[in-house]
Amino acid sequence: MRIIGGEYRGRKLAALGKGDAGAHLRPTTDRVRESLFSMLMGGRFGDPVSDAVVLDLFAGTGALGLEALSRGASHCTFVDDGRVAQRLISQNVAELRAKDKTRLLRCNATRLPACDRAPATLVFLDPPYGRGHGAVALASALEQGWLAPEAFVVWEESATQAAPEGFALLEHKRYGDTWVTLLERSPKDAEEDGDEGDAA
């Protein structure tokens, strides 16, 4: 595995080794990552990557968040409760000397703590396939204040996903056995949050 483009282009990431079968650690392949970022930065969706505040849920090796940092994102919070994943993320961050632009939350992505910093404008969501964890994690991120208004969500699964409450569906894309569902936090939902804040 390596970084495909940007500042860290060509830099190798830590070897997965035997992985973590219990945690279903399954990194996004270089080919899929390259296609995904080509789409994100191709102009159709504006540019959700440059200067983004990234939230990488079920981060695994951290490859998606690190690719975003390489391509101009300003900060990435990685979330994973697997010990192997946490070790790989820490190794990759150290290898790229990106510690000042990253944070690792060692917790379950479906049970996030309250957000204590700028909310994410770009979310990568790569849960274990077919277990329903993705929608739960998004609901937790929304409830705990991790998502900026109109945050852009990239959700990898083995099948297309419906937009959960509070989100609008933008598109489905297929890359081999992987389906990517693109979502946006519903502007209406974000406005209601703002109205509640004004009333307080």
What's the mean pLDDT in 125-138?
Answer: 92
Asked if the structure places residue 136 within a domain, the reply is yes
pLDDT confidence of 188, banded at 50, 70, 90?
low
Asked if the structure places residue 93 within a domain, the reply is yes
Return the CATH number at 48.
Answer: 3.40.50.150
Share of the chain above pLDDT 70, in %: 88
Both tokens of 29, joined, read: 């392949």
In the predicted structure, residue 28 carries a pLDDT above the cut 90: no
Rounded to the nearest integer, the mean pLDDT of the chain is 89
Range of 7-16, 20-29, 70-79, 173-182 with top mean pLDDT: 70-79
Both tokens of 27, joined, read: 């990194």
Share of the chain above pLDDT 90, in %: 76
In the predicted structure, residue 191 carries a pLDDT above the cut 60: no
What's the mean pLDDT in 74-79?
Answer: 98
Higher pLDDT, 176 or 25: 176
Residue 94: exposure state from Cβ atoms within 10 A (0-12, 13-18, ≥19) = exposed
**Would you say 169 and 183 are in contact if contact means Cβ atoms under 8 Å apart?**
yes
The CA distances from residue 100 to 11, 94, 132, 153, in Å, are: 18, 10, 33, 24
Asked if the structure places residue 15 within a domain, the reply is no
Which domain covers residue 161, as residue numbers?
34-199
Rounded distance between C-alpha atoms, residue 26 and residue 57, angstroms: 13
Asked if the structure places residue 111 within a domain, the reply is yes
What's the mean pLDDT in 106-132?
Answer: 95
Asked if the structure places residue 7 within a domain, the reply is no
In the predicted structure, residue 176 carries a pLDDT above the cut 80: yes
Rounded distance between C-alpha atoms, residue 192 and residue 200, angstroms: 13
Both tokens of 98, joined, read: 């990106």
**Would you say 189 and 166 are in contact if contact means Cβ atoms under 8 Å apart?**
yes
Query: Would you state the pLDDT for residue 25?
Result: 61
Range of 19-23, 25-29, 172-176, 194-198 with top mean pLDDT: 172-176
Residues 51-64: tens digit of each pLDDT: 999 999 999 999 99
What's the mean pLDDT in 158-173?
Answer: 94
176: left (phi over 0), alpha (psi -120 to 50) or beta: left
* Number of domains the chain contains: 1
Asked if the structure places residue 192 within a domain, the reply is yes
**Would you say 140 and 109 are in contact if contact means Cβ atoms under 8 Å apart?**
yes
In the predicted structure, residue 30 carries a pLDDT above the cut 50: yes
Asked if the structure places residue 42 within a domain, the reply is yes
Write the DSSP string, 129-189. TTSSHHHHHHHHHHHTT-EEEEEEEEEEESS--PPPTTEEEEEEEEETTEEEEEEEE-HHH
Rounded distance between C-alpha atoms, residue 139 and residue 166, angstroms: 8
Asked if the structure places residue 156 within a domain, the reply is yes
What's the mean pLDDT in 13-21?
Answer: 64
